[in-house]
Structure 1
Amino acid sequence: MIMSKEELIQNIEVARERLNTSIDHEDGEVIYLRSVELDKLIEQYIEAGY
């Protein structure tokens, strides 16, 4: 599924906030999974050439 630039940016921001919250309140596994989620979104953004 190809997302628009705006959708990707919004999803990256949401994932970043979730990761930041996780760092303060969750265990290492949750933090890792949310970090991977954020990395994948950033990778999509870069691959799309935005």
Structure 2
Amino acid sequence: MMMSKEELIHDIEEARERLNKSIEHDEEDIIYHRSVELDKLIEQYIAAGY
């Protein structure tokens, strides 16, 4: 099922916040995981044509 534009934006904002916190406090592997998570959400947003 495709997420709505608002849901995707919300998830992207949350993922960005998690990534920013990881950059300040976590190890490289966690930062990488958070970055990939954010990239996938952005990819979904673009693919949906929003």
Is the pair's TM-score, using the shorter chain for normalization, greater than 0.5? yes
Specify the SS of the correspondent of 2:6.
helix
Structure 2 distance, partners of 1:2, 1:49, is 12
| Partner residue, 1:29 | 29
Q: Structure 2 stretches of 5 or more lacking a match?
A: none
Structure 1 distance, partners of 2:2, 2:30, is 26
Q: Structure 1 stretches of 5 or more lacking a match?
A: none
Offset, 1:6: 0.1
| Partner residue, 1:49 | 49
Q: What is the RMSD computed on CA atoms of the aligned residues?
A: 0.4
Normalising by structure 2, we get a TM-score of 0.98
Offset, 1:23: 0.2
Structure 2 distance, partners of 1:28, 1:2, is 31
Q: Structure 1 residue runs of 4+, over 4 Å off?
A: none
Offset, 1:41: 0.0
Structure 2 distance, partners of 1:3, 1:21, is 25
